[in-house]
Amino acid sequence: MLTAVVGINWGDEGKGRMVDLFAADYDIVCRYQGGNNAGHTVVNDNGKFVLNLLPSGILHSNTVNILGNGMVVDIEHFYNEVNHLTDQGIHVGPDNLKVSDKAIICLPFHKLLDVMEESRLADKKYGSTGRGIGPVYADKYIKKGIRMEDLFSPALLKEKICGVVDWKNLTIPGYGHEKVDPEEMYEWAMKYGEFIKPYITDVTLYLRDAMEQNKNIMFEAQLGALRDIDFGIYPYTSSSCTLASYAPIGSGIPFAHIDKTIGIMKAYSTCVGEGPFVVEMSGKEADDLRTFGFEYGAATGRPRRVGAFDIPASRYGVKMQGADEVALTKIDVLSYMDKIPVCVAYEIDGEITKEFPSGERLLKARPVYEYMDGFGDITKCRHFDELPETAKKYVRFIEKEVNCKISYISVGPGRDEYIKVD
Ligand code: GDP
């Protein structure tokens, strides 16, 4: 069984929490895109864990976790995250964590370039997390990336690093920064490379064999459909493909077919960083939702922009992900509202539409709201029948509008705080 668990919205939908829940049934969990720019927060019986690079399956003792070739990996961050989890009592080793030999290494100068460019852009910035993800993906596609496998060939590694740093040094002084020392970059790669080397594997072979043995494999996405480099709110997207259809490629098994895609969709909207966000709330309304939902970035601590559930955006996200079913998260957060706003359509130049636009049409879109009745505390509900009628109505309405079955309803961050809808 091959299952993709992906984000329907702008990210931060609670994917980590749902993967943690599902992981018990899977032998292998793969991350297939992105780097340490996102943060999954998982709360379980052993405590609270923030995962940036590692798949959420790492919290299950029998699950093998993969960082696929589609990822970009800051190896210093890898070192820190592994050590931090070990300190928290989680076993992490080459037996339960494997890194693709084809994954790209994110170096310190990528972070530097990311931060300098955002600062140059000032109020026109993209809202990058400053972790070097955009610059390192650009290097991958211009074929100047350093791969994990290069760590095993020090002379080649040095040559490659010197080559790419020479090229970067043509632009870095233009930002008013001193040139980067290639020797320093090489030393850094060797230092953290030593740590990561035992984890580096030909992941394609490993996963091919696992498929032949009928193992259950899960693909875990970072971010959501609306941050996809092609189909998201470009250019305010991530630099990778966040969609389910890329999962087999980015994991290392492009020949695989996904059996099921579960879309994780939040019961209201949040968005970190810049870019058009049609349903954005402001003032007290926003402060309340941010406070009740504790909407601060797990990777950056940045306050998230918040808004009502957005039907045009979510319907589009469900479609782009090819979701077979949806897990609706954080619906308990809405319990403080008497009337719950839902954006049912956009108005663009006087025309009402339910289609999610791009380009200038998205910038011009204004929300059209309907209001649903509130439902109070639902955190103790474990069966759909136990939900108040108003909560059932909210779920059913959303289900109909996004045109996809809601099979899970998450009513709290804890592992058992959810409803399985039959
Ligand atoms: P991810 O990046 O998609 O994994 O999402 P984040 O981890 O950034 O954000 C999800 C946050 O919401 C985490 O702090 C979770 O513990 C929390 N969370 C997840 N599901 C629920 C839920 O149903 N209710 C509440 N109240 N919190 C939740």
Tell me the per-residue pLDDT of 98-119, one tens digit each, with 9 for 90 and over: 999 999 999 999 999 999 998 9
- Measured between alpha carbons, how far is 10 from 127 in angstroms, rounded to an integer? 13
- Measured between alpha carbons, how far is 109 from 255 in angstroms, rounded to an integer? 34
- Measured between alpha carbons, how far is 193 from 92 in angstroms, rounded to an integer? 17
| Alpha carbon of 14 to ligand 1 centroid (Å) | 4
Torsion angles phi and psi, residue 317, rounded to 5: -60, -45
In CATH, the architecture of 2-100+201-262 is 3-Layer(aba) Sandwich (3.40)
For ligand 1, atom 27, name the residue with the nearest CA.
413
- The 3-state DSSP composition of the chain as helix, strand, coil percent (nearest 5) reads 40, 25, 35
What mean pLDDT do residues 229-253 have?
Answer: 96
| Alpha carbon of 378 to ligand 1 centroid (Å) | 16
| Alpha carbon of 226 to ligand 1 centroid (Å) | 18
Active site residue 40: yes
Q: What percent of the chain has pLDDT over 70?
A: 99
For ligand 1, atom 20, name the residue with the nearest CA.
413
pLDDT of 370 above 70: yes
| Alpha carbon of 278 to ligand 1 centroid (Å) | 22
pLDDT of 393 above 80: yes
For ligand 1, atom 10, name the residue with the nearest CA.
14
What mean pLDDT do residues 176-202 have?
Answer: 97
For ligand 1, atom 12, name the residue with the nearest CA.
14
How far is the CA of 84 from the CAs of 38, 54, 156, in angstroms? 17, 12, 31
Active-site hit among 27, 40, 60, 77? 40
Ligand 1 mutation pick, 17, 266, 271, max ligand atoms within 8 A of CB = 17
Higher-pLDDT residue of 265, 45:
265
**pLDDT band, residue 299 (cuts 50/70/90):** low
For ligand 1, atom 26, name the residue with the nearest CA.
412
pLDDT of 342 above 80: yes
**pLDDT band, residue 298 (cuts 50/70/90):** low
- Per-domain residue ranges of the chain: 2-100+201-262, 104-196, 263-420
For ligand 1, atom 13, name the residue with the nearest CA.
41
pLDDT of 266 above 70: yes
This prediction has a pTM of 0.94
pLDDT of 300 above 80: no
Active site residue 139: no
In CATH, the architecture of 263-420 is Alpha-Beta Complex (3.90)
What mean pLDDT do residues 326-346 have?
Answer: 97
What mean pLDDT do residues 301-323 have?
Answer: 96
Note the pLDDT tens digit of each residue in 11-50: 999 988 898 889 889 999 999 999 998 777 888 888 889 8
| Alpha carbon of 13 to ligand 1 centroid (Å) | 6
Ligand 1 nearest-atom number relative to CA 418: 23
Binding pocket residue ranges, ligand 1, CB within 6 Å: 7, 11-17, 38-41, 43, 298, 329-330, 332-333, 410-413
Q: Give the N- to C-terminal CA distance of the chain in Å, as an integer.
A: 20
| Mean pLDDT estimate for the chain | 95
Q: Which of 43-47, 58-62, 230-234, 353-357 has the lowest mean pLDDT?
A: 43-47
Instruction: Give the right CATH number for 104-196 from 2.60.40.1150, 3.30.365.10, 3.40.50.150, 1.10.300.10.
Output: 1.10.300.10
What mean pLDDT do residues 179-208 have?
Answer: 98
**pLDDT band, residue 205 (cuts 50/70/90):** very high
* Helix spans in 45-153 (H): 75-87, 108-121, 133-141
Note the pLDDT tens digit of each residue in 375-387: 999 999 999 999 9
| Alpha carbon of 265 to ligand 1 centroid (Å) | 11
